[in-house]
Amino acid sequence: MKNPNGPYPGRQLFLGKTLKQEPIFAYLITGRSPESRERKAVLVDNTIRIGPLSNQSYDPLRHYSAVKYDNVSGIVVISNGIQTEAIFETYKLLFNTNSQPNKDYLEKILDGAGAEPDSYHTPRIAGVVTYSPNKNGDPILIVGIKGYNSPAKATEVQVEPGTLVGVSTYKGPIDNPEAGDPDAILAKLEFKGETAEELALLLFDISYINYKENDIRVCTVGGILLEKKTWVLSVHNVHSKK
C-alpha cells in the first residue's frame, strides 16, 4: 500500500471509523527541507504540539497545535496550523450550548485563516469529530480545506467501518508538488486494526519516500475514541530519540 495522495502529501489528515464503528483520525507530517524535518510531535495535556527538536526559533508555519481533544464531549480537531484552537473552541461551544454543528463553521474559520503565506500558498486543512445536540447520536465527521484564491470547502463525510477519508496539502511529484485541490475526491485509506498505535504506524509505513538521501517523514499521530468518549492517541516520531 502507498500513500493515496502520492509521494509528497506534505501534511495530511484522515477521519474515519474502525471495524467496530469507533471514530478514528490520523495525521501525517512530511518535509523536504532540513528545517521541515527537524520537528517532532509531543503530547501535552489534551493537545499534540508540533515543535522543534532543539532551541530553534518559533515559526508559526512549522510549530503549532496539530490536535486538540476533549474527553467530556468526545470532540477532536486536527489541523495543520494556527486554526486548530479556534476550530476546537467553536465546536466545543456549539456542543455546550446544545447547538447543531455543521460544516459552515469550519469553512468560515478556514476562510479567515487563509492559505499559508509561503511561496506554495500551502492550503489550510482541518478535520473535526463532534456530535449533535442530543449528544447520544452518531459522531459527525467534517473534513475541510482552504486553497489560495478560492473559498474554503468542508464536507460532512460518511464512511464505512474500517475506512478513513481525508485531505492533504500537496499532491503530485515530489520535486514540483501542487497544492491540494478543494474540489478533488477525498483520499481513502483502509484500516483493519484496533488501536491508535496501529493506525499511526500504518500511515507512517505507507508514506516512506527517500528524497535526496533523506526520509521525508516527520511524524504521524493516530487517535481512537473508546467508550465514555475517551480519546486514546499514539504518536510516532522519526526523531523519537532526540
Instruction: Give just the sign of the alpha carbon dihedral 142, 130, 46, 89.
Output: positive
pLDDT above 90 for 103: yes
* Measured distance CA(190)–CA(211) in Å, rounded: 26
Q: Would you place residue 236 in the very low, low, confident or very high pLDDT band (cuts 50, 70, 90)? A: very high
Inform me whether the pLDDT recorded for 28 exceeds 90: yes
Q: Tell me what pLDDT residue 92 has.
A: 97
Domain-embedded: residue 2: no
Domain assignment of residue 76, yes or no: yes
Q: Are 124 and 86 in contact (CB under 8 A)?
A: no
**The C-alpha cell of 21 is what?**
464503528
CB distance 36 to 218 below 8 Å:
yes
1, part of any domain: no
What average pLDDT does this structure show over 236-240?
A: 88
Question: How many structural domains are present in the chain?
Answer: 1
Nearest Cα to Cα of residue 108 among 142, 157, 62: 142
234 touches 197 (CB < 8 A): yes
For residue 240, pLDDT beyond 90 = no
Mean pLDDT to the nearest integer, 73-99: 97
**Model pLDDT, residue 75:** 97
Q: Report yes or no on whether pTM surpasses 0.85.
A: yes
Q: Tell me the average pLDDT across 6-18.
A: 97
Query: Is 142 within a domain?
Result: yes
> Which pLDDT band, with edges at 50, 70 and 90, does 134 fall under?
confident
Predicted local distance difference test score (pLDDT) of residue 56: 76
What DSSP character marks residue 88?
Answer: H
Task: Give CA–CA dist 95/93, Å, rounded.
Answer: 5
Q: Residue 173: give its domain's CATH number.
A: 3.60.20.20
* Amino acid letter for position 83: Q
pLDDT at 242: 43
Mean of the pLDDT values across residues 128-145?
Answer: 90
Residue 159 CA to residue 18 CA, distance in Å, equals 10
**6, part of any domain:** no
Is 49 part of any domain? yes
Confidence band for 135, pLDDT divided at 50, 70 and 90: low
Please give the residue range of the domain that contains residue 106. 11-237
- Domain-located, residue 5: no
Residue 188 lies inside a defined structural domain of this protein: yes
Share of the chain above pLDDT 90, in %: 88
Averaged pLDDT score across all residues of the chain: 94
Q: Is the pLDDT of residue 188 over 80?
A: yes
